[in-house]
Amino acid sequence: MRRQNLALVMGALAAHGPSSRAEVAERTGLTRAAVGSLVNELAAAGLTTDLGLAPSGRVGRPGTALALSGQGPAGLGLEIAVEHLGACVIDLHGTVRTWVEIEAPNRGRKPGEVLAELSDVAAAALQHAAAQGLHPVGTVVAVPGLVDAASGTVEQAPNLGWRDVPVAASPAQWLPATLRAVPVEVDNEANLGALAELWHGSTRPPDFVHVSAQAGIGAAVVIGGRLFRGARGFAGELGHVPVQPDGPVCTCGARGCLEQYAGEETVLRAAGLAGVGGDHIKTLTDEALAGNRRVLDALDRAGRALGTALSGAVNLLDPSALVLGGAYAELGEWLLPGMRAELAARVTVRPWNSEALQPSELGRRGPLLGAGTVTIRRIIEDPARYAAWRNTREVRKSS
């Protein structure tokens, strides 16, 4: 009961920002005395802070305003992408306090080398964060591949050329020393992009399908504000949904998968841009803006294939929104018309609300943003669990 009440108070502060004890009591349905005692516990764990006397027009004693702490516990997000590495630190308010990204051609590179460079990026982010009084208490790594979440192993990341890489199993071998007592998790970039949309997006619908493309095509399904992971954690492989049963052979061995129509490589090839270096999405955008017919046709074809595959998801799940995220959000202008046309023709609920499909404002920042926020959301949802973990850590330090 107390555990739930601690979460209620944290949740109210997270949702409404700085508030008086009376306001928290009103929003949570708890008594002021109960809120006072719960807040003491949260403050002792370094989760809330007293902002001093709040300006109050009310008669009686002015209440002091409470807020989630802008210092202390934070979330560290790390990202391994095909073309870059990133790190961010996010505070309890969900504010990005540090963001570091470097270009890194990771395709085909040895995992050890990539992790060593990621460690340097993490160290730079940690230094910025420490200067602001922030200390990450959880690390989440976003990767473009299938992950066994329980062991933190990247089972397959075809775009990196990785198989069975135990990223979280041996963090001491690659993470900066200051992070070695902090839990490390690994998750798929598409999942984390969808979670970022849920936590940081402009609309935050409770039920949506998030389609993203960084190197491959991924999707994630959020139902009732929770990520749906599937029986083994591999839900969301929209890239291998068939859009043409007798189509070209896919990297997965099947024929006519979505990735063979809307994957980055296919689109570049169809656009006559195979083998170009640099930022592929920017190249496609520039060419499309210049009116390059081949590029426009390739993007239209990709949009239609995306719409065809997604109509299956919409008919199956009836989500309130579809979000086009990752790098493909930047190509929305050219992908969305074809997607909308196929959805309108194939979704059985008619007329289909084409406004339900929107590009994400977070775009390519999604996966790293999500990775940094996982730890924070977990603390807000269960501050007692965090406080207990923190205590065992203090005990270990002092013994």
Tokens of 170: 């041996």
Q: State the DSSP string of 135-193.
A: EEEEEEEEESSEEETTTTEEEEETTTTEEEE-TTT-GGGTS-GGGTTS-EEEEEHHHHH
Distance between CA 181 and CA 137 in Å, rounded? 9
Select 24 or 309, whichever has its Cβ closest to Zn ion.
309
Interacting positions 141-200 with Zn ion (CB under 5 A): none
Point out which span in 4-12, 100-108, 187-195, 235-243 binds Zn ion (CB under 5 A).
235-243
In the complex, what is the shortest distance from the CB of residue 258 to Zn ion, in angstroms, rounded to a whole number? 8
- Site for Zn ion contains 306 (CB under 5 A): no
Point out which span in 54-62, 153-161, 242-250, 335-343 binds Zn ion (CB under 5 A).
242-250
3-state secondary structure of 375: helix
For tokens 């460690």, the residue is 119
Distance between CA 131 and CA 335 in Å, rounded? 43
Tokens of 132: 């602001």
Point out which span in 97-105, 213-221, 233-241, 340-348 binds Zn ion (CB under 5 A).
233-241
For tokens 């993470």, the residue is 175
In the complex, what is the shortest distance from the CB of residue 256 to Zn ion, in angstroms, rounded to a whole number? 8
For Zn ion, which residue of 97, 135, 240, 365 counts as binding (CB under 5 A)?
Answer: 240
If we measure between CA atoms, which residue out of 341, 342, 329 comes closest to residue 285? 329
Distance between CA 87 and CA 117 in Å, rounded? 11
Select 84 or 240, whichever has its Cβ closest to Zn ion.
240
* The amino acid at 231: A
Site string for Zn ion, 247-276 (x = CB under 5 A): ---x-x-x--x-------------------
If we measure between CA atoms, which residue out of 207, 234, 200 comes closest to residue 222? 207
Sheet architecture: strand order including 321-326: 226-228, 217-223, 208-213, 321-326, 357-359
Counting residues that bind Zn ion (by CB under 5 A) gives: 5
In the complex, what is the shortest distance from the CB of residue 241 to Zn ion, in angstroms, rounded to a whole number? 8
In the complex, what is the shortest distance from the CB of residue 280 to Zn ion, in angstroms, rounded to a whole number? 20
In the complex, what is the shortest distance from the CB of residue 215 to Zn ion, in angstroms, rounded to a whole number? 14
Select 30 or 262, whichever has its Cβ closest to Zn ion.
262
* The amino acid at 42: L
Residues in contact with 6: Cβ distance below 8 Å, sequence separation at least 6, in sequence order: 38, 41, 42, 383, 384
Q: Are 186 and 349 in contact (CB under 8 A)?
A: no
In the complex, what is the shortest distance from the CB of residue 22 to Zn ion, in angstroms, rounded to a whole number? 57
For tokens 């370094």, the residue is 46
In the complex, what is the shortest distance from the CB of residue 305 to Zn ion, in angstroms, rounded to a whole number? 12
Select 240 or 365, whichever has its Cβ closest to Zn ion.
240
Select 250 or 329, whichever has its Cβ closest to Zn ion.
250
Site string for Zn ion, 319-358 (x = CB under 5 A): ----------------------------------------
Select 77 or 239, whichever has its Cβ closest to Zn ion.
239
In the complex, what is the shortest distance from the CB of residue 46 to Zn ion, in angstroms, rounded to a whole number? 47
Distance between CA 209 and CA 343 in Å, rounded? 14
Select 114 or 257, whichever has its Cβ closest to Zn ion.
257
Select 51 or 249, whichever has its Cβ closest to Zn ion.
249
The neighbouring-strand residues paired with 344 are none
Residue ranges that bind Zn ion, judged by CB under 5 A: 240, 250, 252, 254, 257
